[in-house]
Structure 1
């Protein structure tokens, strides 16, 4: 594995470094958002669900837009640079808002930037390496991204420990944001073969994709209905007795597990079937959410479930994207990632909103059982429908 890592192109490592720096800023703020919304802006679970749902749905829609544009123009770098620039400008502005609606507007802009950069970035990664290196490539990217998600919460925990106000912490995000934009300007377009010639018009549909890819996209969308905002996991931890200053550390622990195991697990999927990795990870996810809803959950079991959540992320984040590249016909990689990223994110709006309503109106148990049930149904469809063996007459 180390030899393969060393042979990966410069652009793969550079994108990983960009994600590391960007997530250091993003994840420094992410675990503080529910605390900021609840303690400073006096927003409840329903408001948090609405904010995160709208933000992620926006990101998802623009992931399809940017993916289609990439296939039309064969250009990835401009959208990557622009997307990171929007996020770098938007995040520090959270310090100046006076209501949760202001946070909603800024999160909208931040996720707009993510939507515009994600599919072009994934396309650049997929087209920079051969098919037998896609797993390790996407795994490396996700590991470096999650390493940033370790650094960010640790910075947040330190700043909280020295009693820096939440508003000032948000302002510090401008520094890594600027570094990210500079690094993105250093990217180069990958070499493309004749099969990647741009089409004569914009194509938005799934025309030209194999049936298995279409089934996979549908089930990914259903699974996303179970995958509400991670802020609810942090809110649950706070309610179960985890001190406020330790919330960022808990989130950093999840990201550290994902960073450590993401690359080796994704590399294994280059040698074995990717579908088994995804199926096992989805089964773990369903168990995690059922467990999180248990009313008698102790802090010890809570930490165990958070460890499993880190392993779930490690076993899916890179492998799912590698599978998209495997199933995409030549020349349609951008649109394939556009549809995958959109369907895996567009359902976060209803997912987060429904979860927030169930959490506030009924109980945390009802909300977590709903998500666990959706995940289990998705697992069954993945195994018995998406990857079914076709019958030949």
Structure 2
């Protein structure tokens, strides 16, 4: 094997990142394709705005709370691969099952099941991935992973949009997504075969922490919880687009694909920035993303498109440098637990925020926007404090 691919294969850390990135690309093709139309699909099945907001929030809550336990389980058992594989299977196979749902409660249950699978596998996957990021640069490596992830995030909605255009039905689109689901699981098994012990990719590890997690970690979690609470799920955004007619049903997946493309590019930009300036990259990313709410909920088509771009920027920052910061603050032996606790807190905040915004949506759009903006702004002073204190390093545990 020669050329660029040969160079990647010869760098074991980079090749591991690429393999896991390919798994995520195929997985995102599957579930992001489905998630791009979950809001309108639930609406067609008879769900209200409050129901859509609750299902989206409940899915995130259950998935993120499960990460708390799966992360601790991964650290204690060291069965990172087994937990990741089971989680991916549950996560991915729930998507084509949506083709068989004939009512919104059953579809909602499958949506929650898909999130549970993701919750089970994510801490174990991120802990394994973090071992390959030390030499490559935490932000850059997680940025590469997120960029590959979002290629799938673009492909999935485009596939769904094409099927909707041709068949004018959601069920065939969900059924077709079984193909990338099976491919993702196959590549995951290949990665397991080539890298049975990913921990060996990080030989020069940080000192083992005596107990608990760093003080800066908890402060950081508080800031990110504020970001999550004010960050609307795309299911509610898509529901709004379909309900108001701002965007047609066939174009909604395309807008989601645009957001995923922006997400991937933002992950690379902010990932590289993180390796150079630390928390400042988070402050800039989240500061820009705050503008998404008034644009998507109060504007016409062009303004909503701009808001979707801003939403993608915020998601790119969340999915890349947020994880990189955790890897930098926490020693390898506690990263499964750290990612689990972090994601559980993030998920609880997102659930509460999504539920509130769902109910506010049925009352007034202005209230949704005010809530989203104010809650996210609260995170900025905390991040500024962390940046000024240069707290992005192992600290005393609490």
1:170 aligns with 2:178: no
- Cα distance, 1:240 vs structure 2: 5.2
1:242 counterpart residue number = 247
Deviates more, 1:23-32 or 1:190-199: 190-199
Q: 1:169 to 1:29 in 2, by over 3 A?
A: same
The CA deviation string for residues 151-209 of structure 1, in whole angstroms up to 9 with x for no partner, is 0111111111112421122122222111111111122231346979999xxxxxx9522
- Counterpart of 2:62 (choices 37, 58, 65) is 58
1:9 aligns with 2:14: yes
1:185 counterpart residue number = 189
- Counterpart of 1:30 (choices 27, 35, 38) is 35
1:348 counterpart residue number = 350
1:231 counterpart residue number = 235
1:257 aligns with 2:262: yes
Q: Is the 8 A contact 2:208 2:331 kept in 1?
A: no
Q: What are structure 1's unaligned runs of at least 5 residues?
A: 200-205
1:268 aligns with 2:273: yes
- Cα distance, 1:371 vs structure 2: 1.0
Q: 1:197 to 1:261 in 2, by over 3 A?
A: closer
Q: Is the 8 A contact 2:240 2:297 kept in 1?
A: no
Name the Cα RMSD after superposition.
Answer: 2.5
Cα distance between partner residues in 2 of 1:328 and 1:153: 35
- Cα distance, 1:327 vs structure 2: 0.7
Q: What are structure 2's unaligned runs of at least 5 residues?
A: 391-398
Cα distance between partner residues in 2 of 1:99 and 1:324: 40
1:46 aligns with 2:50: yes
1:325 counterpart residue number = 327
Cα distance between partner residues in 2 of 1:292 and 1:264: 24
2:120 counterpart residue number = 116
Cα distance between partner residues in 2 of 1:69 and 1:16: 24
The CA deviation string for residues 286-329 of structure 1, in whole angstroms up to 9 with x for no partner, is 222233343xx232222222222222233342111111111113
The CA deviation string for residues 320-358 of structure 1, in whole angstroms up to 9 with x for no partner, is 111111111342111111111111112222111111100
Cα distance between partner residues in 2 of 1:191 and 1:30: 33
- Cα distance, 1:282 vs structure 2: 1.5
Cα distance between partner residues in 2 of 1:325 and 1:309: 25
Cα distance between partner residues in 2 of 1:337 and 1:14: 21
TM norm structure 2: 0.88
1:80 aligns with 2:80: no
TM norm structure 1: 0.89
Q: Is the 8 A contact 1:73 1:198 kept in 2?
A: no
Cα distance between partner residues in 1 of 2:163 and 2:332: 48
Q: Is the 8 A contact 2:143 2:267 kept in 1?
A: yes
1:287 counterpart residue number = 291
Cα distance between partner residues in 2 of 1:69 and 1:195: 21
Q: Is the 8 A contact 2:246 2:300 kept in 1?
A: no
Cα distance between partner residues in 1 of 2:207 and 2:198: 13
- Cα distance, 1:59 vs structure 2: 0.7
1:379 counterpart residue number = 380
Number of aligned pairs? 377
Secondary structure at 1:9 match in 2: helix
Q: 1:287 to 1:207 in 2, by over 3 A?
A: farther
2:311 counterpart residue number = 309
Cα distance between partner residues in 2 of 1:243 and 1:293: 15
Secondary structure at 1:245 match in 2: coil
Deviates more, 1:108-117 or 1:207-216: 207-216
Secondary structure at 1:43 match in 2: coil
- Cα distance, 1:150 vs structure 2: 0.6
Q: 1:293 to 1:106 in 2, by over 3 A?
A: closer
2:394 counterpart residue number = none
Cα distance between partner residues in 2 of 1:231 and 1:76: 31
Q: Is the 8 A contact 2:128 2:199 kept in 1?
A: no
